[in-house]
Structure 1
Amino acid sequence: MMIGMTAMVAILVATVTVWLRLADETTLAPDDLGRGEYRLLRMDGSHFTQESLLGAPSLVFFGFTHCPDVCPTTLGDMAGWREDLGAEWERLRVFFVSVDPERDSAEILSDYVGWLPGLTGVTGAPEETASAIRAFRVFARKVPLEGGDYTMDHSSSILMFNASGGFFGTIAYQAPHDEALGKIRGLLGG
């Protein structure tokens, strides 16, 4: 009986130790969010890499131009935040990264996001896009539709990065306006 109890305690201690180590690693995981080997193309012809997150606070959203709801809603939310933040918005770098490089050329992205000042569309080769999706740990998947067309399922949160390129947090899809403004102001340091 005593050996059985000792074995159970040993298993419990080992389980808790492993869990604490994994919890510690999970807590540290966001430090490398956005870091990796990818080289995408911005609408202006310059490249978008992990270095693009350095030097100014950034918002990064992954979407696509044929998106029926999440992307247009998020762009509309961004327009409202821009209006309310005024000059504070100008301190941000805001990126819309396409998860659909087959259809979203730089020209198409420019038309799609060009109405919102300060928003930069980003696209690239499918392999580079896949590398960026892995680096930012977002979800994106092609979903076939009838007639040979397709849509994309994708993550809907906006990722926030500080001026050092460190992950700061997220803004959830359709977050209340004041909550999103508070998070952006926190990112901007005020």
Structure 2
Amino acid sequence: MSLAAGLGLLALASVGWFAWLSPRMNAEASIDLGHGDYVLEGTDGAAFTEASLRGAPTAVFFGFAHCPEVCPTTLGDIDLWQAELAEDGRGPLRTYFVTVDPERDTVEEIGDYVSWVPGVVGVSGAREEIDKAIAAFRVYASKVPLEGGGYTMDHSAFVLLFDDRGNFFEPIRYQEELESAMGKIRRVLEK
């Protein structure tokens, strides 16, 4: 086979991947995002399970109460989103803040941490159940040792939006512009 023919086949394969196979794989992978057999405890007294994603549009964020920057910034963004929704005459977007650090974040601790943001329910539970949820939502979380002892957590920094049937809708990036984030939120609320 000539070099030109080989390059032509490579180009054709690339077009096939980007035009057909990759979007299809991503769409199929997102169908079951958040689905799994995890059972966690919410600060509202209810269990947080796959069923919690159904019934109303929902936002889910994974973080931890000892987070130095990403989590408080994201909670501040969520507070802004809730204020924008209130200005629209809507109630707050149902939001779950799931800890990736259940060893330190009890239900009470995570409840205190999120209590200032309307519509946010803190979620914690046993390590094995948190790990099931992390896998179900396909987020990243890893313990990072600190000099002199102790640790912090490295974790995904996006908010996941789900429609009222519990299907993944789209993510909101860390510190996404307010107008863009609100566009996504309004679309999921109107779906």
TM tier, smaller: 0.7 to 0.9
Residue correspondence of structure 1 range 40-119 to structure 2 within 5 A? 40-86=40-86, 87-90=89-92, 92-119=93-120
Higher mean displacement: 24-33 or 50-59: 24-33
Q: Which residue of 1 aligns with 2:170?
A: 169
- Please identify runs of 4+ aligned residues in structure 1 that moved more than 4 A: 14-23
RMSD between superposed Cα atoms in Å: 2.3
- Shift in CA distance, 26/117, structure 1 to aligned 2, threshold 3 Å: closer
Q: Which residue of 2 aligns with 1:160?
A: 161
Report the residue type matching 2:32 in the other structure: D
- Post-superposition offset of 1:146: 1.4
Q: Which residue of 1 aligns with 2:39?
A: 39
- Cα deviation, 1:40-84, whole Å, max 9, x if unaligned, reads 110133210000000000000000000000000011111111112
Report the residue type matching 1:33 in the other structure: L
- Report how many aligned residue pairs link the two structures: 185
SS in 1 for 2:90: helix
- Shift in CA distance, 89/155, structure 1 to aligned 2, threshold 3 Å: farther
Q: Which residue of 1 aligns with 2:26?
A: 26
- Post-superposition offset of 1:159: 0.1
Q: Which residue of 2 aligns with 1:123?
A: 124
Q: Which residue of 1 aligns with 2:139?
A: 138
- Post-superposition offset of 1:25: 2.5
SS in 2 for 1:122: strand
Tell which structure's C-alpha radius of gyration is larger: 1
Higher mean displacement: 63-72 or 177-186: 177-186
CA separation in 1, counterparts of 2:6 and 2:155?
44
- Post-superposition offset of 1:177: 1.0
- Shift in CA distance, 149/41, structure 1 to aligned 2, threshold 3 Å: same
- Post-superposition offset of 1:89: 3.7
Report the residue type matching 1:164 in the other structure: R
Report the residue type matching 1:114 in the other structure: S
Report the residue type matching 1:149 in the other structure: G
- Post-superposition offset of 1:23: 4.8
Report % sequence identity.
51
